[in-house]
């Protein structure tokens, strides 16, 4: 999984022991054409890494589905991504096991999918797994009928015979993957009719929720009842899931009151000790933080409704959270290589070590806002983090020679050059002995290592407690995080704050040099994702504009990176003749764009236009918006589907309204349309924006805190756009949107 918790999918504990029949099952029958591993035909680094697997992986296409139909087999969908620790772990434990591979090859059609290439497929089956088990994460493993209807699924399943434990509140023993494979195989063989019937019913339920607009592309909200299979692979833990009351009376219009309700709910989940929201795992939640930061910047009418003190508290919650994230273990305190995606613990002390470019882009935009609030000067709080993140996104290895930005850096790596086994977080871990030897070897005063160790919580026995390290992965190792401020260290060691600062800088320099010299940086997923590049373009453009009065050289650097990424996408992923956008570039372009590719890129281009006044960016955004309208807009109910009507192998067509770790497509689309409508004096765009917001009216009135992005659209719809209408030459003679 992408987080350290056991999938709720479990197998009845009376399952039979493994025997050799798994390897030879079906040998006496007439065999179809033998499977051949097709992973090498993919351009995805995640998929291609499986080309030598014992499992004869197929790619998701018509051939794989046709084979499942001909052979009357379930497809086994393994959905993951290159940076994911638990994806690599399952490959190592399960797919390298001969018995596991044999049963997958003989009894199923095994298909491996990069979730970043096919977010539509990933989302559909993640919604299913969350609905039946109340658990989500990656890897996502789902058995589906030849018609792609889900039968059973889960996340990380331990390999057979492994002693690995995963942190869970349940005391039940977790099933291994071979037990699950055998159980599903036998059920399909013995009860195929029932499996098909129940899978069809589940799909009908999912379609009903999608039609209501209560099923989004970011996972369920905890309001959807989906029946678990009657053949008893129970879900654990069990959760009562309530259906939405279709007959609930709602007001006819959205208004600013929903912002007050959203604020109240979000404030109620705020962690006043560690920042962030809820318990663990803790995610970065940029859309929620952006909503809190912006409450105080909305027109005064919003403050009149929400309350002046409440808007101030909203800013304080967001800034406190950003401060805790900055000081926590998600942050690379040595090499300034960005932030990991989430924390296993509520105090941000143990990360999932994978780093996604999109997370760091969204964080950059947040830290730019927080720095502005702090004063927007070179000595203002968060200035160093703004520079660090912008440098990370605009420099190799993330900034590729082509101009595009890579996707992610993996969680796992080799501790030393020449090592044969990867470890989670190895690049970032230090024993106290190694820490001291590196810092002291430079001939500096030994006080430097003492001060730095106290600053970053480096302990003799490691700083990861046993409860969060059941497999001793981090035994005696330390994950660096700030636990004492420079003023506290000054008092503790009886030295000046300037001396403390110098000691920390000296230690950082030595540790970084040793790490770069002896360790292996985590592997890079170098594919370019249009959507994620769009958000990075936006963040870099905002950083450039904010920094221009303070550091013009860095401002120019970040603007150049944003413009280079935009130019690469236009040249390599935009088909001018067909007016179509593509999602992925790696060894050529691949996969036609989804709604998020259009939406996030338009968002980035509008911010790039705001930073440069270069109308070519506005013209490109306009062209993209027109295509998005034609391919994804729901003319009956408003808002945008995430996929086109002809998206292959997608059994549902969903609309994305709720924000989670990423801003919802429809929230950003509404913002784009309001901005384009104002800039281009095009009322059609403004009307589409209002329709997009209104499409989620019923859900927003019931649960406004799930839609912080769309609430910004409510403000614009009520109080007018904040985008200044400048003298745009491009709009003269431009063909209006339809």
Estimate the crossing angle of helix 308-327 against helix 357-373, to 10 degrees.
130
Cβ atoms of 251 and 628 within 8 Å: the answer is no
| Cis-peptide, bond into residue 187, ω within 30° of zero | no
Write out the DSSP string of 39-106. GGG---HHHHTTTT-SS--B-SSHHHHHHHHHHT-EEEEEEE-TT-HHHHHHIIIIITSHHHHHHHHH
Q: Write out pLDDT tens, residues 108-126.
A: 999 999 999 999 999 999 9
Q: String of b and e for 552-584 (b: at least 16 CB within 10 Å)?
A: eebbebbbebbbbbbebbbebbbeeeeeebbbb
Q: Which residues contact 202 (CB under 8 A, 6 or more apart)?
A: 128, 132, 149, 150, 226, 227
d(CA 277, CA 284): 9
Q: How far is CA 399 from CA 116, 153, 402, in A?
A: 18, 37, 8
Q: Write out pLDDT tens, residues 65-120.
A: 999 999 999 999 999 999 999 999 999 999 999 999 999 999 999 999 999 999 99
* Confidence category of residue 417, pLDDT binned at 50, 70, 90: confident
Average pLDDT, stretch 531-560? Answer: 99
Q: What's the token pair of residue 327?
A: 């000081």
% of the chain with per-residue pLDDT over 70: 88
What residues does each domain of the chain span? 21-212, 254-353, 423-521, 610-738
Estimate the crossing angle of helix 447-456 against helix 486-493, to 10 degrees.
140
Q: Which residues contact 39 (CB under 8 A, 6 or more apart)?
A: 47, 48, 49, 50, 51, 53, 57, 59, 112
Q: How far is CA 91 from the centre of its chain?
A: 21
Q: Write out pLDDT tens, residues 372-400.
A: 999 999 999 999 999 999 999 999 999 99
244-258, 294-308, 500-514 — which is least confidently predicted? 244-258
- Sign of the C-alpha dihedral, residues 278, 279, 283, 289? positive
Give the number of residues written for the chain: 738
pTM of the full structure: 0.91
Give me the pLDDT at residue 135, please.
85
Give me the pLDDT at residue 134, please.
84
**Mean pLDDT across the chain:** 89
Give me the pLDDT at residue 406, please.
99
* DSSP single-letter state for residue 548: T
Domain spanning 21-212: CATH 1.10.3720.10: no
Average pLDDT, stretch 394-407? Answer: 98
Q: Write out pLDDT tens, residues 146-199.
A: 999 999 999 999 999 876 555 544 445 678 999 999 999 999 999 999 999 999
Q: What's the token pair of residue 720?
A: 């007018």
Helix (H, G, I), strand (E, B) or coil at 708: helix
* Confidence category of residue 253, pLDDT binned at 50, 70, 90: confident
């Amino acid at each position: 999984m992408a987080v350290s918790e056991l999938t709720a999918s479990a197998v009845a504990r009376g399952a039979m022991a493994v025997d050799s029949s798994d390897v030879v099952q079906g040998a006496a029958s007439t065999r179809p054409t033998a499977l051949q591993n097709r992973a090498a035909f993919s351009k995805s680094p995640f998929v291609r890494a499986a080309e030598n697997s014992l499992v004869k992986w197929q790619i998701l296409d018509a051939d794989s589905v046709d084979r499942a139909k001909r052979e009357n087999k379930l497809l086994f969908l393994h959905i993951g991504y290159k940076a994911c620790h638990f994806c690599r772990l399952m490959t190592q434990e399960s797919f390298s096991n001969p018995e596991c591979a044999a049963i997958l090859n003989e009894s199923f059609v095994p298909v491996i999918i990069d979730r970043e290439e096919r977010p539509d497929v990933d989302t559909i089956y993640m919604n299913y797994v969350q609905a039946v088990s109340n658990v989500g994460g990656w890897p996502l493993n789902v058995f589906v009928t030849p018609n792609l209807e889900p039968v059973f699924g889960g996340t990380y399943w331990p390999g057979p015979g492994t002693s690995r434990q995963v942190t869970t509140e349940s005391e039940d023993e977790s099933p291994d993957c071979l037990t699950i494979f055998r159980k599903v195989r036998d059920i399909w063989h013995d009860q195929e009719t029932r499996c098909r019937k129940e899978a069809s019913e589940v799909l009908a339920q999912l379609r009903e929720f999608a039609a209501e607009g209560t099923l989004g592309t970011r996972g369920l909200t905890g309001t959807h009842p989906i029946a678990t299979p009657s053949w008893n692979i129970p879900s654990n833990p069990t959760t009562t899931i309530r259906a939405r009351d279709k007959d609930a009376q709602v007001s006819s219009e959205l208004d600013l009151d929903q912002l007050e309700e959203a604020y109240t709910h979000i404030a109620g989940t705020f962690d006043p000790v560690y920042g962030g929201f809820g318990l663990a795992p803790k995610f970065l939640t940029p859309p929620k933080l952006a909503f809190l930061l912006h409450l105080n910047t909305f027109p005064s009418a919003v403050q009149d409704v929400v309350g002046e003190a409440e808007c101030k508290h909203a800013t304080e919650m967001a800034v406190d959270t950003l401060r805790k994230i900055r000081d926590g273990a998600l942050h690379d305190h040595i090499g300034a290589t960005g932030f990991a995606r989430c924390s296993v613990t509520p105090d941000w002390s143990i990360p999932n070590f994978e780093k996604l470019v999109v997370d760091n882009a969204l964080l950059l935009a947040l830290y730019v806002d927080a720095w502005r609030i702090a004063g927007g000067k070179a000595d203002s709080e968060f200035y160093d983090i703004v520079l660090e993140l912008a440098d990370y996104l605009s420099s190799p290895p993330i900034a590729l020679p082509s101009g595009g930005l890579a996707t992610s850096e993996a969680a796992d790596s080799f501790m030393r050059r020449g090592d044969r086994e990867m470890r989670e977080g190895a690049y970032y871990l230090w024993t106290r002995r190694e820490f001291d030897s590196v810092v002291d070897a430079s001939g500096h005063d030994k006080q430097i290592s003492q001060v730095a160790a106290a600053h970053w919580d480096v302990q003799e026995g490691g700083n990861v407690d046993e409860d969060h390290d059941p497999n001793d992965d981090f035994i005696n190792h330390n994950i660096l995080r700030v636990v004492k401020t420079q003023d506290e260290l000054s008092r503790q060691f009886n030295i000046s704050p300037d001396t403390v600062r110098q000691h920390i800088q000296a230690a950082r320099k030595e540790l970084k040099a040793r790490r770069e010299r002896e360790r292996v940086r985590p592997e890079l997923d170098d594919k370019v994702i249009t959507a994620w590049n769009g958000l990075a373009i936006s963040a870099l453009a905002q950083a450039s504009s904010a920094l221009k009065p303070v550091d013009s050289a860095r401002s120019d650097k970040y603007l150049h990176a944003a413009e280079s990424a935009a130019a690469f996408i236009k040249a390599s992923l935009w088909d001018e003749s067909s007016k179509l956008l593509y999602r992925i570039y790696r060894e050529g372009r691949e996969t036609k764009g989804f709604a998020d590719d259009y939406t996030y890129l338009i968002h980035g281009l509008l911010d790039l236009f705001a930073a440069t006044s270069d109308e070519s960016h506005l013209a490109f955004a306009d062209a993209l918006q027109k295509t998005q309208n034609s391919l994804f807009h729901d003319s009956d109910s408003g808002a945008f589907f995430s996929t086109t009507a002809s998206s292959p192998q997608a059994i549902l067509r969903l609309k994305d309204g709720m924000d989670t770790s990423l801003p919802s497509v429809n929230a950003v689309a509404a913002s784009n349309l309001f901005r384009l409508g104002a800039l281009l004096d095009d009322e059609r765009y403004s009307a589409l924006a209002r329709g997009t917001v209104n499409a989620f009216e019923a859900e927003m009135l019931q649960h406004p805190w799930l839609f912080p992005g769309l609430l910004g659209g409510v403000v614009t719809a009520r109080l007018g756009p904040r985008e200044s209408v400048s003298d745009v030459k491009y709009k003269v003679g431009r063909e209006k949107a339809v």
